[in-house]
């Protein structure tokens, strides 16, 4: 069993913002696995798939970014997911735009959604796939930046980054080692 969670905000007005890249990436996971988000449970929109005979739960928390951990914790309990079976995809201002970084564990950094996940689940030893959003040319407060729309000229860069993040998540769910996935997708 693997639980892949993409962090974001549920309202349509946030759909094209940097803070919703996790939602977009987990949507790409669903496309790669041939499934769709069809049900709501545990304060999340959920899709199910199988890969190599193993069940995969894909989720988009509906709790808003800063309370994402509540949905993740509920899903982990419902599906009896151990920390090593959890993968979280999210935007990260600490990485340059378009970069993807896979890590086996870590801190929340500057990300409030990850702070919530770690606080609610009580663990930080789970895989995370970060999609870089920092743009040195943009000089606005972080909260305004993450809730702003991706610029048209950067759209293809972020589509590609979300796709790579999704491929990395599916590779992990399919049993590839974290070291191999890091080698293939980091950068």
Establish whether 99 is a catalytic residue.
no
Q: Two tokens at 72?
A: 């993740």
Question: What is the distance between the alpha carbons of residues 50 and 140, in angstroms, rounded to a whole number?
Answer: 42
Catalytically annotated residue among 19, 84, 99, 111: 19
Buried b (16+ CB within 10 A) or exposed e, 139-166: eeeeeebbeeebeeebeeebeebbbbbb
Question: What is the distance between the alpha carbons of residues 153 and 82, in angstroms, rounded to a whole number?
Answer: 40
Active-site residues: which are they?
19
């Amino acid at each position: 069993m693997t639980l892949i969670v993409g962090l974001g905000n549920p309202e349509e007005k946030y759909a094209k913002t940097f803070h919703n890249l996790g939602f977009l990436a987990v949507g790409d996971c669903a496309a790669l696995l041939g499934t769709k988000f069809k049900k709501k449970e545990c304060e999340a929109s959920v899709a199910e798939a199988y890969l190599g005979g193993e069940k995969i739960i894909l989720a988009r928390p509906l709790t808003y970014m800063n309370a994402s951990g509540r949905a993740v914790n509920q899903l982990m309990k419902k599906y009896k997911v151990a920390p090593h079976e959890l993968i979280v995809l999210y935007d990260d201002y600490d990485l340059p735009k378009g970069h993807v970084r896979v890590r086996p564990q870590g801190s929340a950094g500057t990300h409030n959604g990850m702070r919530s996940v770690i606080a609610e689940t009580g663990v930080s030893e789970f895989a995370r796939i970060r999609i870089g959003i920092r743009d040195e040319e943009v000089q606005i407060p972080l909260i305004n930046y993450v809730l702003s729309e991706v610029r048209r000229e950067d759209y293809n860069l972020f589509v590609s980054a979300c796709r790579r993040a999704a491929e990395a998540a599916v590779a992990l769910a399919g049993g590839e080692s974290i070291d191999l996935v890091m080698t293939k997708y980091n950068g």
